[in-house]
Structure 1
């Protein structure tokens, strides 16, 4: 009997020990009194909420790159020796502008092959016209006409191929026409011309240098369009806002995100490609910058300074100004970026949230409830 009464008393003591902290926590008032004079003395300031929106994003490293279509590599069309370089590095050029001259025996052979192919094609076409006339008069059989047609077709194709090789080497169509018409002598050197406007950024050729076919000579870029290659942490690969501008820190440059990479890199980062929409002249291809990437817009999140949020027993709170003082309202922190956080909770437009001397308000709140 005594043992039964002892066990019952122990259970009561244990229940009291568990319920007392819960009762103390439940007794913590949500609202506590703080006068205007006390606010001034404590240095408390408030920020009035406007509307739910996303916080400004974190800063991430980015490299300025050229779109693939903006970077043109000029290579040697034929083997030869660089006679003269006609442009300098960092010089702007226009389409069709001469860049350098190559002395090339191979180019001379190509011209000779084109001239011979043109001559054979003219003879084949004359023979075809003669065979057609003879066939119409019944002098030759149809077989000879078909053979002449085949020979003319082959010679025409060979002439086109020889002319295409010269055009690929950089000779313009009027010059090819003069050459194949035998009204112009063979050229001892080839002038390499620019096929697009831009800026010479890498000049590799030097006078007297011997080059092989396809050796790089120089690079021309068009810096009027640039991209940013941004490295985002993998866990934020889908958190960026697709319809908001990315800003370059310290410069009046904005960009718009295009797409994120599908593969995570060695540093657990994802490459986000963005197109520069304003301030292109302030960037140089190849340089590294810091950019700010905005978060996705939320309709239920409020942006606040990081110092506006306090924690008590694992729960985040903010202090909202009331007629009597302040009210501690529980919130959930959704995102953080530097000195800003995005919170979700019982807040509304027009609420005045304490953003300075918040620790003093927490002490007053816990002191009124008997907390430490």
Structure 2
């Protein structure tokens, strides 16, 4: 007899993946020409760091529309201020004031819309704030890193023409990482969130964060997900590794041969050898796998149990009336 080895002593295939929310794709906000690229795959970047520069004729049109809306907003604001004073003095009617106020609100909404269009095109708030008819317009867009992390992929090169929404860089935060594990379906009764998981060969570890109750039809495996918090720097997304799952110390699961079990009504028991013979120990059957049965019992793990002649031992035990 020994501790159940279904999970604790076996290694299972697993793949390293990037957790949801830790990866970003930097795409071209407008069509244009990439005239500068400042980072490449493998480099570590900080949030807000400049990645590339894009020249786009389309951005000129957006700036022109914004500046026109800005001028209209300023004129509408002046008209509203004037009519507010005239209304106070009783020079104009309420209706004219309301018309001026409506025109001001419309100009404000139009300006907000044009500003949002610029922001969606990749123009930052600082650049937008500096835009005015006297300083002129710019034809370039500076692309910045949306998160801190490592550049995993560079999809374009300097001098390349790109279309709107075309992916340029893939950036990811690589700590922590997820471990997608495929374990035998029979392990379902034993696993639960929070259990410790190791990648022994790479000295990395973490804990289970999800038991996904979706079985792989091809090989009847259970999908488990662990978060690797220690040694994540030694792992790479897409890497295949071997993982071990540690059952909780509170779980007293043991594997015993099916022939060692004896039944008494609805109960199951095994006979443990003592200095004077055998004594029965009640067990709870967790699962049966071929000739092995996984049981929950108050064993220390060093007991010797009868695996043959169990019927005779049970008969002798019942004849003695032992308990």
Q: TM-score, normalised by structure 1?
A: 0.69
Contact 1:263 1:270 in 2 (8 A): yes
2:177 alignment counterpart: 226
Greater CA drift, 93-102 or 263-272: 263-272
- In 1, the alpha carbon distance for the partners of 2:103 and 2:95 equals 12
C-alpha displacement at 1:288, in angstroms? Answer: 1.1
Match of 1:195 among 134, 146, 154: 146
The structure whose RCO (Cα within 8 Å, separation 6+) is larger is 1
SS in 2 for 1:229: strand
1:60 alignment counterpart: 12
- State yes or no: 1:322 paired with 2:259: no
Greater CA drift, 88-97 or 223-232: 223-232
Greater CA drift, 184-193 or 83-92: 184-193
Q: Give the structure with the higher percent helix.
A: 1
In structure 1, stretches of 5+ residues that fail to align are 1-46, 363-372
- State yes or no: 1:148 paired with 2:148: no
SS in 2 for 1:263: strand
- In 1, the alpha carbon distance for the partners of 2:217 and 2:301 equals 46
2:315 alignment counterpart: none
Aligned residues: 302
For residues 241-320 of structure 1, the aligned pairs below 5 Å read 241-267=192-218, 268-295=220-247, 301-302=253-254, 320=273
- In 1, the alpha carbon distance for the partners of 2:96 and 2:261 equals 104
SS in 1 for 2:198: strand
Deviation string for 1:48-86 (max 9, x for gaps)? Answer: x9x999972532211111111100110111111111211
For residues 1-372 of structure 1, the aligned pairs below 5 Å read 56-179=8-131, 181-182=132-133, 184-267=135-218, 268-295=220-247, 301-302=253-254, 320=273, 322=275, 348-349=299-300, 353=304
Structure-2 change in CA distance of 1:96 and 1:149 (3 Å): same
- In 2, the alpha carbon distance for the partners of 1:66 and 1:214 equals 22
- In 2, the alpha carbon distance for the partners of 1:241 and 1:341 equals 20
